[in-house]
Chains A and B, each alone.
Chain A
Amino acid sequence: MFASVPSAVLFCAEGHLIHVEVQVAAGLPGFSLVGLPDMSIRESRDRARAAVTSSGYPWPKHKITVNLAPSGDRKAGSGLDLAIAIGVLAASDVIAPEAIEGIAFIGELGLDGSLRPVVGVVPMVGAIGERDVVVPIASATEAHVVALGRVRLVANLVELVEALRREAPWPDHDVADRPAPILRTFPDLADVQGQPIARHALEIAAAGGHHTLFIGPPGSGKTMLATRLPGLLPPLERSKALEVTMLHSAAGIALPPGGLVSEPPFRAPHHTSSQVSLVGGGSQVIRPGEVSIAHCGVLFLDELAEFAPSVLDGLRQPLELRSARVDRVDIRKLLPADFLLVAAMNPCPCGGGAPGACMCGDAVLHRYARRVSGPLLDRFDLRVAVHRPAVDDLLVNEPGESSAVVAARVLVARRLATERQGCLNSALEVRHLDDVARLDTGSTALLRHELEHDRLSGRGYHRIRRVARTIADLRGHLEPGVDEQDVAMALRFRATFARSMPTGRVA
C-alpha cells in the first residue's frame, strides 16, 4: 500500500516542496528512509513511531519504505515528522488515502504525539502552494502570513487523525484574533538631547540609504543615535515585507504579532559574532546570517573595532552585492542582504576627546586603527564625529524633533530620489552623478582643495557628491545640481580619526 503526503523543508531561506512517499509492503518488519535525509530526519522514524503508538494507533509490522521526493536534494530539519507519520498511517489504512488529498503537513512530533513548531514555517508554507496545510498551533501566525489554502491548527496526532477519519470535526484552536499590526515601537529621536549634527546625519542616512559610522568617545550617545535610525525609515512595502518575513522565519526569529514583518528590522549583533553568524552559512543547514535578517532594515555594529577583522571583511561583499553569497562544495546560494549599515566606535582605545586629550601611544593608535580595514571604512558614506552633549543640552529638557517629523521628511526625499533615478542616492552610479549632482564653482573649489591635500580619494569624491545630493533632496532642492552649502555640509560627515592617520584621511 502506498501513500504520498506533501510537506516542505527549509533550504537556505527558501521552502522546498517535498512529497513524502510511503510504501508499506510485505516483508520483514523494518523501516528504510531514502532521499538524502540528514540526521534529524533519520531520527524522525523513532519520533514518528513513538508518537503513533502512544496515540493508540498501530505501527505496521511490515517493511516500510519512505522516500523523500525529489530524492536528489539534500534535506534537513524535523518538520517532516508529521508527514512521515501521516504517510505511514495512510499507507497502512488507518486513514483513508482520499482524506489526505490536497493537504500538506508540517511539524515535529513529540513522543507523546504532540505537535511542536519548527523553524521556517513561512517559506515552507509558501512552497506548498494552494493546498490546505496542517501546522502546529505555535506556528499559526507564520502560516497565516503566506497560506493560500486553509490553515489547520492541530495540537496533537490524535486530534489530527480523528479529524482526518471524520470521527471529529477539525479542532478549533483559533489563536486569539490576529491583532492588527501595532504602531511603530522604535525608540523616538525626541529622546536625543542636542547633537544637531548627528541627528542630521541620521536623517541623511535614512533618506539616502547611506552607510554611517559614528565616531566618538564613550557616553557621547552613539548607540542611542543608531537605535533611532529604523524609526526614520518608511514601513516596508508588501513584497519586501514578505521577503523579510521569510528570512526571519527561516532564521527562527519570532515574528511580530501580525505575522508579517512590516517594519524595517533592526539587528545589533554582538562584537563576538562569528563570520558565519553575520554573513550566513552553516555546515548542514544553511541559515541566513545577520546581514540577511537585517534585509531592508538596519544592521548596527556597536564597538566596530572590537569585531574580529576577518569577520568585518566578510561584510564587504554583502555591502557591495546587496546580497550574501554562501558557497559550499555542493551549495551555492545568494541570500538577500540589502541592509543599511550603521556602526559606532571610539576614536581611540582611551576614548579620546578634544585634540590633546588622548592618552594613547602611537603604537596603540595604529593597532586600533588597523582593526577596521581601509576598504571597509571606505564603504561608509557618512563618518560622523559625535561629541559628548553639552551640559546645557542635557539639563534643558527640551525634546528635539520627534522621529515622526523627521520620517516624514525622509519619505519625501526618498520619493524624490526614486522618482528621479529609480534608486536611492547611495546607489547612484558614477556616470549618473553629473546628471543629478552637478557641482557649481564654489563646491568644485572646496572639493578640489580636499583632493589636492590628499584628504579625499576618487571614491570619496563620488561619495561626497551622493551625500550632497541627499542633503539637497532633504531641503527640497529640485535642481539637477548641488550647491556649495550641500557640499560643505557633506564634507562635515567625513570625520578623520584623531592622529592615528597622520597623513590625511582615508578616502
Chain B
Amino acid sequence: MIAPAGFVASLAGFERITVARLTGLLAHRTPEQAFAIATGACSPPEPFATLFRREPDLASAWQRAGVKRPPDEIWQQCVAAGVHVVMAGDAGYPAALLDDPRRPAALFVRGDLGVLDARRVGIVGTRNATQRGRETAARFGYELAAEGVVVVSGLAKGIDGAAHRGALAVDGAHPVAVVGTGPDRPYPAQHAQLWERVAERGALISEWPPGTGPDAFRFPLRNRILAALVEVLVVVESRERGGSLITAREAAERGVEVFAVPGALQSRAALGTNKLLCDGAAPATETADVLMALGLDRRRAGRSRHDPRSLPSAADRRLIEACRPAPQTLETLSECCGASLVDTAMAVARLEHAGWLRETAGWFEAIHDWADLA
C-alpha cells in the first residue's frame, strides 16, 4: 500500500506540471486516481483529454515521468528527508492560503506549520545586499521575533538570510521559510546550516517535492506563496527589477500591507525599495512601524542590544558617520575628515580592528551592532 502523499509528491515533480494542472488533477479525486490520469494508466477525463490532444508530447512526457518517479520511492525520499505533504484539503493546510486564487495544491513541509497561527511578517530583499541592508534585515528579524511575531522569508542569500539569522537569535522564535527548491535542497549551498535551524525551530515550506533543484522560474512562484502567507511585508533592499518587487506586487494584490526601508538615493541596492515608497508603500524605519500595522503597538520595541565594542574617539566617529549613508573609499574619507592619507589609513585600521568598519575591494562600510547576525 503506497501512501497517497507519495502520488502527490511524484506528480508535483513532473515536468511542465503547473499549479493549475496539479490543482485540476487533484480536484475531487484521490491522488492515486490523479496519478493514473496523468500517466495515462486510465483514459483521461475532460479537460485533460483535450490537453493531451493539444499537447501530445505532454502525455508521453508524463508517462515517462511516471516511470521515472515511482510514488513509493518518492515517498521514501520524503520520509528520509523528514518532509511531510500537506494538501489543500488537509486540516494542517495554512488558513491564509485557503482562499488564495493561486493556492498551491500541495505543500512540502519540514517542521511545524502550526507556528503560522501567530502574527506573521515577511522580510524580503535583494540577494546582493549591502552590509547596511543585511544589518537592517537582521535587526528587523530580531526585534520582530522578540515581539513574538513569526518572521517569514525566503532563505536566499543577502537580506533573506540575514532576516532569518536575526530571528533565530531570539530564544523561542519560530521563523518560517518559503523556499524555491525542494525542502531538502539548501540553496544557496552556504545556507545549509541556516536551513536546518529554521526547519528545527519553525517551518520550511516548499511547493516542490524533495530533490527539486534551483530553477529560475520557481522563485517568482515561491514569492506568491510568501506574499500570501504574511500579514505585513517588509522589503529591506531591492534592485530596480528585483525579485522582491514581485513579492511586493503579489502582496499588494492580496491586500497585504507593504513596507519598504528607505535607502540612499545613489545606492543601486535601494532603487527598488525607493520606487516602492514612491508607489505608496509605507516607510519602515524601525520595528515599531511594522508592529503598529499589526496592531501590536509596543513602544518599547526596538530595545537595543548590548554593544561590546569600545567607543571610538570623536574624530574616529566622524569617519564612521561618513561611511554610514554609503560606502566610502580611503581617498574620500581622508578628504572629508581633512586628514592625510596616512592618518586616515591608521584610523581605519584601528576602526577595522575595533569592529566599526569593514573593507571590501577598497570600500569601507560602517558596521552596526547587528553585523554579527547580518
B130 and A488 within 8 A (CB): no
Q: Would you mind naming 10 contact pairs between A and B with Cβ atoms under 8 Å apart? A: A197-B331, A197-B362, A355-B361, A356-B130, A359-B239, A489-B345, A492-B345, A495-B359, A495-B361, A499-B360
B345 and A355 within 8 A (CB): no
Contact flags A437-463 to B (C-beta < 8 A → 1, else 0):
000000001100100000000000000
Which residues does B use to contact A, with CB under 8 Å?
Answer: 127-131, 133, 157, 188, 190, 237, 239, 267-269, 326-327, 329-332, 334, 341-343, 345-346, 348-350, 352-353, 359-363, 365
B128 and A358 within 8 A (CB): yes
Among B133, B326, B346, B359, residue most surrounded by chain A Cβ atoms (within 10 Å): B346
- Could you say which of B129, B237, B332 contacts A390, with CB atoms under 8 Å apart? B332
Alpha-carbon gap, A492 to B342, bound state (A): 10
B353 and A445 within 8 A (CB): yes
* CB-defined contacts of B361 to chain A, threshold 8 Å: 215, 347, 352, 355, 385, 495-498
Can you name 14 extra interface pairs (CB under 8 A) apart from A356-B269, A385-B329?
A196-B334, A200-B341, A354-B267, A355-B365, A359-B128, A359-B239, A384-B362, A390-B332, A445-B353, A484-B349, A489-B341, A491-B349, A495-B361, A499-B360
- A502 contacts the other chain (Cβ, under 8 Å)? yes
* CB-defined contacts of B130 to chain A, threshold 8 Å: 355-356
Residue of A with least CB distance to B362: A385
| CB-CB nearest 5 A-B residue pairs | A385-B362, A356-B269, A356-B130, A488-B349, A488-B346
Task: Given the known inter-chain contacts A362-B157, A362-B188, A502-B190, please indicate yes or no for A355 contacting B363, CB distance below 8 A.
Answer: yes
Alpha-carbon gap, A1 to B192, bound state (A): 88
Q: How far apart are A358's CB and chain B's nearest CB, in angstroms?
A: 6
Alpha-carbon gap, A5 to B237, bound state (A): 82
- A54 contacts the other chain (Cβ, under 8 Å)? no
Contact flags A350-389 to B (C-beta < 8 A → 1, else 0):
0010111111001000000000000000000000111100
- A194 contacts the other chain (Cβ, under 8 Å)? yes
- A485 contacts the other chain (Cβ, under 8 Å)? yes
A495 and B365 within 8 A (CB): no
Q: How far apart are B304's CB and chain A's nearest CB, in angstroms?
A: 25
Residue of B with least CB distance to A388: B329
Q: How far apart are A230's CB and chain B's nearest CB, in angstroms?
A: 24
Q: How far apart are A409's CB and chain B's nearest CB, in angstroms?
A: 15
- Could you say which of B239, B330, B331 contacts A194, with CB atoms under 8 Å apart? B331
Alpha-carbon gap, A386 to B361, bound state (A): 9
* CB-defined contacts of A215 to chain B, threshold 8 Å: 361-362
Which residues does A use to contact B, with CB under 8 Å?
Answer: 194-197, 200, 215-216, 347, 352, 354-359, 362, 384-387, 390, 445-446, 449, 484-485, 487-489, 491-492, 495-499, 502
Q: How far apart are A501's CB and chain B's nearest CB, in angstroms?
A: 10
Residue of A with least CB distance to B364: A355
Alpha-carbon gap, A194 to B329, bound state (A): 13
Alpha-carbon gap, A269 to B269, bound state (A): 37
Residue of B with least CB distance to A348: B361
Q: How far apart are A154's CB and chain B's nearest CB, in angstroms?
A: 59
Alpha-carbon gap, A485 to B341, bound state (A): 10
B327 and A354 within 8 A (CB): yes
A387 and B362 within 8 A (CB): yes
A489 and B342 within 8 A (CB): yes
A357 and B349 within 8 A (CB): no
| Interface residue SS majority, chain A | loop
- Could you say which of B128, B190, B330, B342 contacts A485, with CB atoms under 8 Å apart? B342
- Could you say which of A194, A347, A385, A446 contacts B353, with CB atoms under 8 Å apart? A446
B341 and A196 within 8 A (CB): yes
* CB-defined contacts of B190 to chain A, threshold 8 Å: 502
Alpha-carbon gap, A264 to B360, bound state (A): 34
Q: How far apart are A398's CB and chain B's nearest CB, in angstroms?
A: 14
A356 and B345 within 8 A (CB): no
A356 and B349 within 8 A (CB): no
Q: How far apart are B27's CB and chain A's nearest CB, in angstroms?
A: 38
* CB-defined contacts of A196 to chain B, threshold 8 Å: 331, 334, 341
Residue of A with least CB distance to B270: A356
* CB-defined contacts of B348 to chain A, threshold 8 Å: 488, 492
* CB-defined contacts of B359 to chain A, threshold 8 Å: 495-496
Q: How far apart are A366's CB and chain B's nearest CB, in angstroms?
A: 11
Q: How far apart are A444's CB and chain B's nearest CB, in angstroms?
A: 12
B329 and A387 within 8 A (CB): yes
B157 and A390 within 8 A (CB): no
A356 and B128 within 8 A (CB): yes
Alpha-carbon gap, A196 to B341, bound state (A): 8
Alpha-carbon gap, A296 to B269, bound state (A): 46
Alpha-carbon gap, A216 to B363, bound state (A): 11
Alpha-carbon gap, A197 to B361, bound state (A): 13
Residue of A with least CB distance to B133: A356
Alpha-carbon gap, A484 to B332, bound state (A): 22
Q: How far apart are A390's CB and chain B's nearest CB, in angstroms?
A: 7
Q: How far apart are A493's CB and chain B's nearest CB, in angstroms?
A: 10
* CB-defined contacts of A449 to chain B, threshold 8 Å: 352-353
Q: How far apart are A198's CB and chain B's nearest CB, in angstroms?
A: 9
A197 and B341 within 8 A (CB): yes
Alpha-carbon gap, A498 to B133, bound state (A): 16
Q: How far apart are A497's CB and chain B's nearest CB, in angstroms?
A: 6
A485 and B346 within 8 A (CB): yes
* CB-defined contacts of A484 to chain B, threshold 8 Å: 346, 349
Alpha-carbon gap, A449 to B131, bound state (A): 20
* CB-defined contacts of A487 to chain B, threshold 8 Å: 349
- Could you say which of A197, A362, A498 contacts B360, with CB atoms under 8 Å apart? A498
Among B237, B350, B361, residue most surrounded by chain A Cβ atoms (within 10 Å): B361
* CB-defined contacts of B133 to chain A, threshold 8 Å: 356
Alpha-carbon gap, A491 to B269, bound state (A): 28
* CB-defined contacts of A358 to chain B, threshold 8 Å: 128
Residue of A with least CB distance to B361: A498
Alpha-carbon gap, A196 to B339, bound state (A): 13
Alpha-carbon gap, A281 to B341, bound state (A): 45
B346 and A354 within 8 A (CB): no
Alpha-carbon gap, A417 to B268, bound state (A): 46
* CB-defined contacts of B128 to chain A, threshold 8 Å: 356, 358-359, 499
B330 and A492 within 8 A (CB): yes
B330 and A197 within 8 A (CB): yes
Residue of A with least CB distance to B269: A356
Q: How far apart are A439's CB and chain B's nearest CB, in angstroms?
A: 13
* CB-defined contacts of B346 to chain A, threshold 8 Å: 484-485, 488-489
* CB-defined contacts of A489 to chain B, threshold 8 Å: 341-342, 345-346
Q: How far apart are B348's CB and chain A's nearest CB, in angstroms?
A: 8
Alpha-carbon gap, A347 to B360, bound state (A): 10
Q: How far apart are A36's CB and chain B's nearest CB, in angstroms?
A: 56
- Could you say which of A385, A446, A488 contacts B363, with CB atoms under 8 Å apart? A385
* CB-defined contacts of B360 to chain A, threshold 8 Å: 355, 496, 498-499
Alpha-carbon gap, A355 to B328, bound state (A): 10
Alpha-carbon gap, A314 to B227, bound state (A): 53
Among B129, B188, B331, B345, residue most surrounded by chain A Cβ atoms (within 10 Å): B345
Alpha-carbon gap, A489 to B327, bound state (A): 19
Residue of A with least CB distance to B239: A359
Task: Given the known inter-chain contacts A196-B341, A498-B361, please indicate yes or no for A390 contacting B131, CB distance below 8 A.
Answer: no
Alpha-carbon gap, A19 to B268, bound state (A): 73
